[in-house]
Amino acid sequence: MRKRSIFALTLIPFALVSCKRTSELYAQGAYDTGTFMGNYYTEYNNVDKLEINSQTDIDFSIVADKISNPSGDNLLSCLSLEDQVNSKGDPLSWFYDNPKTGYDKEFGPTKCMSHIDDSFSYGILSKLYDGRVHCDGYYAASRVQLNKTGYGTFFPKEMKSAKWFGVSVRGSSDTDGYKNCSAVVDFNFTFYRHILNSKAVDAYTIAVNGVKVSVANSVPHGSLLAFYFMEAFASKGLDYAEICDGLVGMSMDYKLVSVDADPKDVAEYGELTDDMNDKEKPHFAIFLYEVFFGDSTWI
């Protein structure tokens, strides 16, 4: 009996083992290889395996031309004034974005997800939640590089409410050319809402077509593309509050429509493609710096 007790005691450590901190580990230099083609993040983190109960498509392309990258203290055109000022009513700067010192002064560090809920601080996608909305010399450490297939992820918690959604994005290419041009991109943002007592989810895809993004590597600034959930869902007669209450994940993908390129670049390098698997053409990718769920609450 005593031997069995001792044996049972030695098994306790194994019973205690869980994988909380070891569930997402990487080798050195993951998605930060120093090469363009080695930095694509194409994971869907099992979001693509979700059973979809219903699919709702919403075309909200009217916000496409509101994508903005204001300099200095200028305001963002995609959000109302009240959503881009600090507690004292002063405008938050989009241009500056220091996650350590910028809270209540700069837009990114103030509105970022890791500030709203600390659970967003963990994981490789914490790059999208830290408040750094531009490159700032951090290159791949500050962003997620997306192929046309995009990426997907579950949220660390379930959303209770949110007011607006935004992404800081820009384009890039793996050529030395295309330095001062822009690209037109169609984005799809899909949000997954869980259904009570069911494994299936309802999917809501909001398409924003015709977004103009910079392709210039020499201008490493992200631009904010944002919209209000109320307006987006209301365009289909849906109650945004009801939909946001229960969102568990999201995915996004895009399509490169056209590039406003110098004909010399096209002649020298070829036409850009948004498909990383195309070995013939030079590649275009979306650099995603930040994902926002403005004024959101989570449980």
Partner 1 sequence: MKFLDKIKNQDALIIFLIMECLAICSFALGGISYIFYGLGIFVGVVTILFSYNRFKGEDFKSLLVFMPPMFVLSIFLSFGKLLSANVVENILVFLSINIFLFLGIAARKFKGFKADFVLIAVGVSIALLVLISMFITWIQYGLFYAARYKNTPIYYYNAETFDITKETVWLIGFKIKETSIIYTSAFAVILVCYSFGLLFISPKEQTRKFCIYGVLGFIGLLYLITIPYFIAFQYLVPAFAVALVCRFVKISKKANDIINYALLFISAMAILFFIFAFMNAAGSVNEDSPSKLASVISSNHLLDRIFNSNRIMDPINVVLRQGSLKYNLFGFVPEFNDRVLSYSEFEAVEDAVVTNSKMFEIELIKEGGIFTIFLIVLIIVMGYMFARKYMKESRDEKHEKIIIVSILLSFTLYKSFESDVFPLIHEPDNYYSFFRNPLTLVMIFFFGMLYISKANPTPEKKEEKQNDVEEVSI
The stretch among 21-29, 33-41, 62-70, 180-188 that binds partner 1 (CB under 8 A) is: 21-29
State the Cα–Cα distance between residues 211 and 247, nearest whole angstrom.
25
Token look-up 């169609």 returns 186
Q: What is the C-alpha to C-alpha distance for residues 194 and 199, in angstroms, rounded to an integer?
A: 8
Asked if residues 149 and 236 have their Cβ atoms less than 8 Å apart, the reply is: no
Work out which of 44, 61, 91, 123 binds partner 1, going by CB under 8 A: 123
Q: Which of 1, 6, 7, 14 binds partner 1 (CB under 8 A)?
A: 14
Interface mask toward partner 1 for 129-148; x: CB under 8 A:
xx-x--------xx------
Determine the Cα–Cα distance for residues 54 and 38; give it in Å rounded to an integer: 35
> Cα 152–67–161 angle (5° rounding)?
50
Residue count (the chain): 299
Structure tokens at 280: 């013939």
Q: Which of residues 209-238 bind partner 1 (CB under 8 A)?
A: none
- Is 8 a residue that touches partner 1 (CB under 8 A)? no
The yes or no reply on residue 62 touching partner 1 (CB under 8 A) is: no
In the complex with partner 1, the residue whose CB is nearer, 26 or 264, is 26
Given 5, 7, 9, 28, the residue binding partner 1 (CB under 8 A): 28
Q: Mask of contacts with partner 1, 98-117, x by CB under 8 A?
A: -x--------------x---
DSSP letters of 47-63?
A: GGGPPEEEEEEEE-GGG
156 forms part of the interface with partner 1 (CB under 8 A): no
Q: Distance between CA 17 and CA 3 in Å, rounded? A: 23
Out of 1, 11, 19, 196, name the contact with partner 1 by CB under 8 A: 19
Which residue type is seen at 220? P
Residue 6, interface with partner 1 (CB under 8 A)? no
Residues touching partner 1, count (CB under 8 A): 29
Q: Is there binding between residue 11 and partner 1 (CB under 8 A)?
A: no
Instruction: Write the CB contacts of 292 (distance below 8 Å, at least 6 apart in sequence).
Output: 111, 112, 113, 164, 165, 166, 167, 168, 226
Those residues with Cβ within 8 angstroms of residue 23's Cβ, 6 or more apart along the chain or in another chain? none
* CB closer to partner 1, 118 vs 231: 118
Using CB under 8 A, which of the segments 12-20, 166-174, 206-214, 225-233 binds partner 1? Answer: 12-20
The residues with which 124 forms a beta bridge, in sequence order, are none
Nearest distance, CB of residue 101 and partner 1, angstroms: 12
List residues near partner 1 by CB under 8 A: 13-14, 16-22, 24-28, 30, 99, 114, 121-127, 129-130, 132, 141-142
